[in-house]
Structures are given as structure tokens and as C-alpha cells.
């Protein structure tokens, strides 16, 4: 009965109740394999990859070997950011059923995606979909494949189904949050990302999703409070520092903007996405030559980025180069944007 209660609690997102049931079983039945596996499931659900791996190793050391542990180890590695260990996982699967190989390939696709190896990710998601199209891991991978292929209608339809079937799975909640965000439903996105963050308090993707939704709704003060917490988890995180720079710029906290940009430039000198913000900061601090150089490069990369174009125009005006403004804005002569028309 306690096993049934534990499974039910996990499926309904009642994680505190689930762990109580599981520990009560293990007090009287410390060798109960099902309870041990449920404990691993619990740790994976709440994002504690370290504890999950400890429990996996205990079972392996006791002589247990099964496909469940193989897949659980992969998921624990993903939670810990051990992506190469996941993509290198080719051993011990020769006799694995095709259905489980499909699940493994989907998880490996996610590991490749987390390493920004998009081509490999697509390949593994596609291979997984042919082996086990109806399993949870493969369905999640397929939704990501649709997103990577810019098939957003298919992605949204599948994500809606997953959200109904797995309302407490953080992977699904992150997909749903991104779906709402790209459809400009920022309040709904924030609600879903917060749900994910509550389940897995250390999940940086959930934190960043909430922050992005807050920024979209112009709630910079709350977004700033959140970003401080994220940077405590990972002070060098590139996107977190970029978001902090954006928030600090809106709040006119320019020293913080500079500090965040320096961290990004140190870790990724080739990051061109920060040029607009860096150039805008130079403009605010009257470093007009530096601002022009950065904003010109950014506009060359993003020729339809109107806010950057307007900032570059303002730089030209400050430098008394009105003819450059005319050249820059001539493609937008029919724009309804009041600042551009001005």
C-alpha cells in the first residue's frame, strides 16, 4: 500500500508526501528494490542528481543490474551537467530492448543540445523517435526536434499534450514555458516556469525562464532579485550575466552592467549578442566612438533590429553626422515608429 501511495504522490507532484512514504518503507524493508528505485525517481524529479547517483551506485554495488539503472544514471548525469558522460554512453546497451534504446538516444540528444551541438541533437532525437515514439523521453525529444526545425505548430501541439499528461515533469514545464513565451503569453510563461522552479529549486533554466517572463512584463525589480539568486548558483553563467546586464541597464545601474559584460567577454570573447547592450552603455557614458563601433557591428549582424538602429542613429547625431542617420534610416522610411519617423 505504501508503494502505491508513493507512486501516486510522485505522479501528482506531492513530493514531500512521496519521500515520507518511501523512507517509511525503507525503514522496515531496506532491501526493497522497488522502494530503492522510487527513491531514485524522487531525487530525479526534484533535480537532485547527486543524491540520485549515490542511490544508483548503492544498487549497482549490491549487484543489481537492469535497464532502469542505466537510464536513471543518464538522467542523473544530465541533472549534474555531465553531458559528455551521457553522449559517450554506448556500452552496456547491446542487449537493451529497442524501446529503451530509443529513450537513451533521446536523452543523449538532450545532452548534445546542452553542449550546443545542434546537428547531433537533431540526429539523436530523430533516431529515438523511430525506436520508441510513445515514451516520455522520446516525446520530449521530439518536441525539441520540432522546435529546432522551426515547426512550431507541431511543437506546440505536442507540448500541449505533454502538459496534460505530465503536469509535474520539469522537462515538460520548461517546454511549456518556452511555448508560452514565444507566443507572447508572458504571464502564463511565468506561472509555468515558477511551477518548475518550485519542484527543482536549483534548476537554472527554470529561474532564467521566470526572469525572461518578468523582463517581458517590465518587472525589472523582481527580475533583479531572481537574477541575484541565479548568480549565487553559478556566478559565471553566460545567459544569467547577460540578463543581469539587461536588467541593470534598465535600472540605470551601469557599474553592474559593466561587471556582467566583463564576465561574458572573459568566458566567451566571440559573443556578439552583447554588442547592442555594450554599445548602448558606451552611448550612455558618452564613449561615442566605442558605441559606434559596437553598434555598427551588431546592426550588420541584425539588420532588422530597430532598437539597435535607433541607438546607433542617436550616436551619429551626437557626433554631428546627420548624413549617416539618413543613410541608416532610409530603409525604414515607411515605418510607423514615431522615433524612427522623427
* pLDDT confidence of residue 90: 62
Q: How far is CA 237 from CA 116, 188, 204, 211, 260, in A?
A: 15, 25, 9, 14, 10
Q: Which three cell numbers stand for residue 150?
A: 522551426
Please give the full DSSP string across 256-285, using - where no structure is assigned: HHHHHHHHHHHH-TT--TTHHHHHHHHHHT
* pLDDT confidence of residue 335: 56
* pLDDT confidence of residue 95: 77
* pLDDT confidence of residue 92: 58
Nearest to 208 by CA among 218, 196, 77: 196
* Residue 80 near residue 53, CB atoms below 8 Å: yes
CA atoms within 13 A on the CB side of 70: 20
Question: What letter does residue 168 receive in the DSSP assignment?
Answer: T
* Residue 241 near residue 273, CB atoms below 8 Å: no
∠ CA 154-160-162 to the nearest 5 degrees? Answer: 100
Residue 226's H or E segment, with its range, is helix 220-233
Query: What pTM value is reported for the model?
Result: 0.85
**What does the pLDDT profile of the chain (342 residues) look like in tens digits?**
789 999 999 999 999 999 999 999 999 999 999 999 999 999 999 999 999 999 999 999 999 989 999 999 999 999 999 999 999 876 556 678 899 999 999 999 999 999 989 999 999 999 999 999 999 999 999 999 999 999 999 999 999 999 999 999 999 999 999 999 999 999 999 999 999 999 999 999 999 999 999 999 999 999 999 999 999 989 999 999 999 999 999 999 999 999 999 999 999 999 999 999 999 999 999 999 999 999 999 999 999 898 899 999 999 999 999 999 988 888 766 655 545 444
Amino acid at each position: 500500500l505504501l508503494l502505491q501511495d508513493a507512486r501516486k504522490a510522485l505522479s501528482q507532484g506531492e513530493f514531500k508526501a512521496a519521500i515520507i512514504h518511501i523512507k517509511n518503507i525503507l525503514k522496515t524493508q531496506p532491501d526493497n528494490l522497488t522502494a530503492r528505485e522510487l527513491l531514485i525517481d524522487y531525487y530525479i524529479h526534484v533535480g537532485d542528481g547527486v543524491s540520485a547517483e549515490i542511490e544508483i551506485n548503492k544498487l549497482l554495488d549490491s549487484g543489481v543490474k537492469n535497464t532502469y539503472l542505466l537510464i536513471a544514471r543518464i538522467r542523473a548525469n544530465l541533472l549534474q551537467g555531465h553531458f559528455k558522460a551521457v553522449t559517450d554512453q554506448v556500452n552496456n546497451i547491446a542487449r537493451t530492448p529497442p524501446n529503451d534504446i530509443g529513450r537513451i538516444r533521446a536523452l543523449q540528444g538532450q545532452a548534445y543540445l546542452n553542449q550546443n551541438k545542434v546537428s547531433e541533437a537533431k540526429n539523436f532525437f530523430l533516431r529515438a523517435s523511430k525506436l520508441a515514439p510513445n515514451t516520455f523521453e522520446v516525446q520530449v525529444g521530439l518536441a525539441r526536434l520540432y522546435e529546432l526545425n522551426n515547426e512550431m505548430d507541431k511543437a506546440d501541439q505536442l507540448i500541449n499534450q505533454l502538459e496534460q499528461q505530465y503536469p509535474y515533469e520539469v522537462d515538460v514545464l520548461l517546454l511549456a514555458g518556452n511555448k508560452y513565451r514565444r507566443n507572447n503569453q508572458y504571464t502564463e510563461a511565468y506561472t509555468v516556469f515558477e511551477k518548475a522552479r518550485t519542484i527543482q529549486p536549483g534548476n537554472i533554466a527554470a529561474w532564467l525562464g521566470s526572469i525572461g517572463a518578468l523582463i517581458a512584463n517590465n518587472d525589472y525589480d523582481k527580475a533583479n532579485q531572481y537574477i541575484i539568486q541565479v548568480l549565487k548558483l553559478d556566478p559565471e553563467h553566460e545567459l544569467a550575466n547577460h540578463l543581469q546586464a539587461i536588467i541593470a541597464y534598465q535600472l540605470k545601474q551601469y557599474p553592474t552592467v559593466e561587471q556582467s559584460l566583463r564576465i561574458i567577454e572573459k568566458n566567451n570573447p566571440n559573443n556578439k549578442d552583447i554588442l547592442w547592450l555594450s554599445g548602448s552603455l558606451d552611448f550612455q557614458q558618452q564613449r561615442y566612438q566605442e558605441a559606434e563601433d559596437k553598434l555598427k557591428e551588431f546592426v550588420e549582424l541584425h539588420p532588422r533590429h530597430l532598437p539597435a538602429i535607433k541607438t546607433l542613429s542617436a550616436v551619429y547625431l551626437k557626433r554631428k553626422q546627420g548624413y549617416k542617420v539618413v543613410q541608416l534610416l532610409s530603409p525604414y522610411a515607411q515605418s510607423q515608429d514615431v522615433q524612427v519617423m522623427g
